[in-house]
């Protein structure tokens, strides 16, 4: 039990920093394929978000104008992390495959978001610019939904009381899963939840990856609860390893 909990913490840390092994979607059942795709999409998103997290000092440097942190740069670093975490190169996934299409949509969304926010990132004279990993992840998710063209959706949501942007609000199914499963103390830490359910009138594979607060997360989401964080939003009072976010991926059939 203790070994499992320790492993879960390691997984949660890995989630926070984007470290997940790549799942193969070649030789499995349809559900196993969907799970692998969803897992890889989540890994890519988390790795790109980790890059943005790592570059916060650079982004918020007011003295520096052009940071040369373009979409390509971020994607390159994200891919590097992805490869490191999963041991596979996303660019080598068959572009005609569902996974290939969706990974490329994810990578394109990453590039698009970073490039769209270059003026913000490169604004000289402004320290904190609000281009934080969460905003980056939401924007990437929104962009991914657009680029996936109805084939899949991805959303970084959270337990309802922790959701800051109403676009990240869990839908009723997500809310139920979070409350009944992921927040259940007996739920193995880091273990995703997946199910095939009808969503928006279509059969879909839904995959919920829990993410837990790491030490670096508590700067904005920790204590004291209610005190404004650097973004001007009241802290939630979260503690280390609390369920802080859920990457919800929907793969429509």
Partner 1 sequence: MAWLTIRMRLILLTCAGLFVLIATNAYLTKKLAENSAGMITAADLLKSIEEANNAQIAFGELRYWMTDLAVSQLTMAERSAAAARARVEKHLDELQSWNPQRIATVRSEVAQYADLAGKAADEYTDDRRVIGNSLLAQARQHSMVADQLIAAIVQELTGAAIAARQRVVAEAEKATRLSQIVVAAAVVLGALLTFLILRSIVVPLRRLTVAMDGLNAGNVAVAIPEAGRDEIGAMAQTLTMFRDTLRELRETLAQLEALREVGRAVSSTLDLDRVLSIIAARAVDLARAQAGMIYEFDEATREFRFRASHGIETALTEQLRAAPIRFGEGAISAAAVAGSPTQIPDLLRERELAVPKLSAALSGLGYRSLIAAPLLHEQDVLGGLVVARCEAGEFSKEIVSLIESFATQSALAVRNAKLFEEQRRRERDLRVAHEQLKQAQANLIHAEKMASLGQLTAGIAHEIKNPLNFVNNFAELSGELMQELRDTIPAPGAEQEELIATLGANLEKIVEHGRRADGIVTSMLLHSRGGTGERRATDLNALVEEVLNLAFHGARARDRSFNIVLERDFDPTLGPIELVPQDITRVLLNLFGNGFYAANKRLGEGTDPKFQSSLRVTTRDLGDQVEIRVRDNGVGMTPEVQTKLFTPFFTTKPTGEGTGLGLSISYDIVTQQHSGTITVDSRPGEFTEFTVRLPRRHQPAEPAMAKGASA
The residues that touch partner 1, with contacts defined as CB under 8 A, are 163-167, 169, 233-234
**Half-sphere exposure in the Cβ direction for 177 (13 Å, CA):** 23
Q: Which is nearer to partner 1, 167 or 202 (CB)?
A: 167
Nearest CA among 237, 42, 37 for reference residue 157: 42
**CA angle, residues 88, 99, 94, in degrees to nearest 5:** 70
| 3-state SS, residue 206 | strand
Q: Which is nearer to partner 1, 160 or 219 (CB)?
A: 160
- Nearest approach in angstroms of CB 168 to partner 1 is 8
**Cα–Cα dist 49/172, whole Å:** 26
- Listing DSSP states for 171-195 in one string gives -HHHHHHIIIIITSTTSPTT--EEE
- Nearest approach in angstroms of CB 161 to partner 1 is 8
What is the Cα 144 distance to its own chain's centre?
A: 12
* Angle between helices 133-148 and 98-116 in degrees, nearest 10: 130
- Nearest approach in angstroms of CB 220 to partner 1 is 13
Q: Which is nearer to partner 1, 100 or 234 (CB)?
A: 234
- Nearest approach in angstroms of CB 214 to partner 1 is 22
Q: What length is written for the chain?
A: 253
The secondary structure element, H or E, covering residue 83 is helix 71-86
Question: Are the beta carbons of 211 and 247 closer than 8 angstroms?
Answer: yes
- Nearest approach in angstroms of CB 157 to partner 1 is 11
**Half-sphere exposure in the Cβ direction for 101 (13 Å, CA):** 13
Q: Which is nearer to partner 1, 119 or 226 (CB)?
A: 226
Q: Which is nearer to partner 1, 62 or 130 (CB)?
A: 130
- Nearest approach in angstroms of CB 215 to partner 1 is 24
Q: Which is nearer to partner 1, 164 or 181 (CB)?
A: 164
């Amino acid at each position: 039990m203790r070994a499992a909990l320790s492993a879960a913490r390691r997984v949660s840390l890995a989630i926070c920093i984007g470290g997940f092994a790549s799942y193969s979607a070649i030789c499995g059942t349809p559900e196993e394929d969907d799970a692998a795709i969803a897992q890889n999409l989540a890994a890519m998103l988390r790795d790109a978000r980790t890059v943005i997290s790592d570059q916060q000092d650079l982004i918020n440097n007011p003295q520096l104008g052009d940071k040369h942190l373009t979409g390509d740069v971020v994607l390159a670093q994200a891919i590097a992390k992805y490869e490191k975490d999963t041991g596979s190169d996303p660019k080598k996934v068959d572009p005609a495959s569902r996974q290939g299409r969706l990974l490329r949509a994810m990578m394109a969304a990453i590039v698009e978001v970073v490039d769209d926010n270059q003026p913000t990132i490169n604004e000289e004279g402004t320290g904190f610019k609000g281009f934080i990993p969460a905003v980056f992840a939401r924007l990437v998710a929104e962009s991914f939904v657009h680029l996936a063209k109805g084939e899949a959706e991805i959303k970084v949501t959270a337990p309802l009381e922790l959701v800051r942007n109403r676009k990240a609000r869990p839908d009723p199914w997500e809310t139920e899963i979070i409350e009944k499963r992921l927040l259940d103390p007996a739920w193995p830490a880091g273990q995703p939840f997946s199910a095939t359910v009808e969503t928006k009138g279509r059969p879909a594979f839904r995959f919920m990856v829990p993410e837990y607060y790491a030490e670096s997360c508590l700067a904005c989401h920790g204590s004291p609860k209610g005190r404004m964080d650097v973004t001007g939003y009241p802290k939630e009072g979260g503690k280390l390893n609390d369920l802080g976010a859920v990457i919800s991926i929907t793969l429509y059939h």
